[in-house]
Amino acid sequence: MLQRVDAELPEVAAPPRRSFSARLKAFAQSFVEWVEDCAHHYAAAQLYGHLIRLSDHKLAQRGLSRDTLAHDLIQRRKQEKRS
């Protein structure tokens, strides 16, 4: 059987509200980051489309392998993002 507990909860201060302009700025920054990510992913897809058409010999000359091409492009993107 359940018993009702009438305990008072401690008052917790609400976090300060950010102004509308601060929220708008944060949204705009997130939006710009998203657009940049989309552009980078599109560029990576275009590069993949170009590289996948090359022969295994030409890929090897560039230090790439058909088996790991997508993985190599993802790693390249991660390194560029850190820089």
Query: CA-based diameter of the chain, in Å?
Result: 76
Instruction: Tell me whether residue 2 is in a domain.
Output: no
Instruction: Tell me whether residue 75 is in a domain.
Output: yes
Instruction: Tell me whether residue 48 is in a domain.
Output: no
Instruction: Tell me whether residue 67 is in a domain.
Output: yes
Number of domains in the chain: 1
Say if CB 51 and CB 71 are below 8 A apart. no
Instruction: Tell me whether residue 80 is in a domain.
Output: yes
Domain limits for position 73: 55-83
Q: Using one digit for the tens of pLDDT, what is the confidence trace for 16-53?
A: 788 999 999 999 999 999 999 899 889 889 999 999 99
Instruction: Tell me whether residue 68 is in a domain.
Output: yes
Please indicate whether residue 57 or residue 12 has the higher confidence score (pLDDT): 57
Q: In angstroms, rounded to a whole number, what is the distance separating the alpha carbons of residues 54 and 75?
A: 20
User: Is 11 a residue whose pLDDT tops 80?
Assistant: no
